[in-house]
């Protein structure tokens, strides 16, 4: 295979009659003596004068069925700093992280194969922009020396491609989202996002995409069509549950959302109080109360046995989604949950440039009222809408959360090679 080895440790078991081998890796002390570790496994090695714990070596010897009897050692690197004193190095070297990252790579490859089979064009739209989105609750990371912001989503540029004639586009890359509070077990400020759009199709096509992507990625990584979290299992081969936001509030929180949808703030607060929601005061903002109920009472109960599509969000939370033509109180927007974890956010896209401009202006007002930075208006995106955007639907999927559930990990850090410190503030 190379000048340093003829075999990997995982290949030794196939050498039934033994034989001469050359291995490369790091020396460690095991329960029964010295061992050599490579990316594929561990092999016992006999004592040799040139073998020192923590050295990176190439050893030549004979495989006897249980280990290698060492005849020759070439030291490739001798550490000048003790390996054991560095917790981060120990984490990176752990077999569990190595296995997890290999499984993530397998799942990511399955994701890309799916989009290729569906005739999507995978694009890279860039890491920075001078026209960020206007979301009131996100704080894009700004480069101080130039008028650029790290993207929080490639949405605006992907839809400009649709306006220019592309019909199926996907981007799989990294985004940065500040303003969402401190790091948590499920949130990392920089994360991998798969975002894709289908022209001349609606949100039903996106739901089908998610069903297929979840099952394919899970089977590729683990051989099982399931998400696992906290000892609970959600099946991925039985389709998705679907429930409206209003129905979910009634079922899981005992709160009537109808007053909120009609702009009756007092009626919404009264329903929340009757359901036992604490700290509902005269000055409590209706949207703040909505999200508190959603986060505390509804989300933890979604996607328990299979993923859930939570659809028909209130019109005030439409963002870049079109309002439902049959019920203007709600938007054609859904979010996908599994085992209480939000995974994806999807829209049937708004194509009216005048309505989109009005929404941006409203979001700018909300940002100003909350003391956030005024952001440049995305004029090139609005110009693309004025040239014409076909009927389309798009979805953004947080990949690390998906990998976490596929692998049954409790923390998002467990599927990242280099997570940010838990006390980092973005």
Q: What is the pLDDT of residues 6-56, one digit of tens each?
A: 999 999 988 876 789 999 999 999 999 999 999 999 999 999 999 999 999
Q: What is the pLDDT of residue 143?
A: 83
pLDDT > 90? residue 181 = no
3-state secondary structure string, 124-140?
CCCCEECCCCCCCCCEC
88, 100 Cβ separation under 8 angstroms = no
Tell me phi and psi for residue 252, to 5 degrees: -100, -20
Residue ranges with strand state E in 325-408: 327-338, 341-348, 392-398
Q: pLDDT band for position 374 (50/70/90)?
A: confident
pLDDT in tens, 93-130: 999 999 999 999 999 999 999 999 999 999 999 999 99
pLDDT > 70? residue 180 = no
**DSSP-derived 3-state class of residue 409:** coil
Q: What is the pLDDT of residue 77?
A: 96
The domains located in the chain, with CATH, are 9-84 (2.40.50.200), 93-240+306-415 (3.30.930.10)
Residue 194 falls in which region: left (phi positive, over 0), alpha (psi -120 to 50) or beta: beta
Unique residue bearing structure tokens 């973005």: 426
Q: What is the mean pLDDT of residues 305-310?
A: 98
Q: What is the pLDDT of residue 208?
A: 98
* 191 bridge partner residues: 175
Of the candidates 298, 297, 296, which has an alpha carbon nearest to the alpha carbon of residue 308?
Answer: 298
Q: What is the pTM of this model?
A: 0.93
The mean pLDDT of the chain is 93
Distance CA(188)–CA(416), nearest Å, equals 10
Q: What is the pLDDT of residue 179?
A: 58
Q: What is the mean pLDDT of residues 326-344?
A: 97
pLDDT > 80? residue 410 = yes
pLDDT > 60? residue 259 = yes
Q: pLDDT band for position 426 (50/70/90)?
A: low
pLDDT > 60? residue 1 = no
pLDDT in tens, 47-93: 999 999 999 999 999 999 999 999 999 999 999 988 878 889 989 99
Of the candidates 19, 17, 83, 59, which has an alpha carbon nearest to the alpha carbon of residue 43?
Answer: 59
């Amino acid at each position: 295979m190379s000048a340093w080895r003829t075999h990997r440790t995982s290949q030794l078991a196939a050498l039934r009659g033994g034989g001469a081998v050359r291995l490369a890796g790091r020396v460690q002390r095991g329960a029964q003596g010295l061992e050599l570790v490579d990316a594929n496994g561990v092999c016992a090695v006999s004592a040799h004068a040139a073998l020192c714990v923590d050295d990176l070596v190439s050893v030549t010897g004979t495989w006897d069925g249980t280990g290698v009897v060492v005849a020759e050692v070439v030291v490739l690197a001798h550490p000048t700093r003790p390996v054991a004193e560095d917790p981060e190095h120990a984490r990176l070297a752990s077999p569990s992280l190595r296995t997890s990252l290999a499984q993530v790579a397998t799942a990511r490859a399955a994701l890309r194969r799916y989009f290729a089979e569906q005739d999507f064009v995978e694009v890279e739209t860039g890491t920075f922009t001078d026209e960020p989105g206007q979301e009131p609750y996100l704080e894009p990371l700004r480069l101080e020396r130039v008028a650029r912001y790290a993207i929080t989503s490639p949405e605006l540029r992907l839809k400009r491609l649709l306006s220019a004639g592309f019909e199926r586009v996907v981007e799989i890359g990294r985004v940065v989202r500040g303003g969402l509070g401190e790091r948590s077990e499920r949130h990392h400020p920089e994360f991998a996002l798969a975002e894709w759009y289908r022209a001349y199709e609606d949100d039903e096509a996106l739901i089908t995409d998610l069903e297929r992507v979840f099952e394919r990625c899970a089977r590729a990584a683990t051989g099982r069509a399931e998400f696992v979290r906290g000892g609970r299992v959600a099946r991925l081969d039985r389709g998705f549950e679907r429930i409206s936001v209003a129905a979910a509030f009634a079922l899981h929180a005992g709160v009537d959302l109808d007053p909120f949808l009609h702009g009756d703030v007092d009626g919404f607060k009264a329903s929340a109080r009757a359901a036992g929601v604490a700290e509902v005061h005269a000055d409590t903002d209706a949207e703040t109360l909505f999200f508190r109920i959603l986060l505390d009472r509804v989300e933890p109960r979604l996607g328990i046995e299979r993923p859930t599509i939570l659809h028909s969000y209130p019109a005030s939370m439409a963002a870049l989604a079109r309002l439902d033509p049959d019920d203007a109180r709600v938007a054609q927007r859904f979010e996908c949950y599994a085992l209480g974890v939000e995974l994806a956010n999807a829209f049937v896209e708004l194509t009216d440039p005048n309505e989109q401009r009005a929404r941006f202006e409203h979001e700018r007002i909300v940002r100003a009222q909350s003391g956030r930075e005024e952001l440049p208006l995305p004029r090139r995106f609005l110009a693309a809408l004025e040239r014409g955007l076909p009927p389309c639907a798009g979805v953004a999927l947080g990949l690390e959360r998906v990998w976490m559930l596929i692998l049954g990990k409790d923390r998002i850090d467990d599927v990242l090679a280099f997570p940010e410190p838990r006390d980092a503030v973005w």
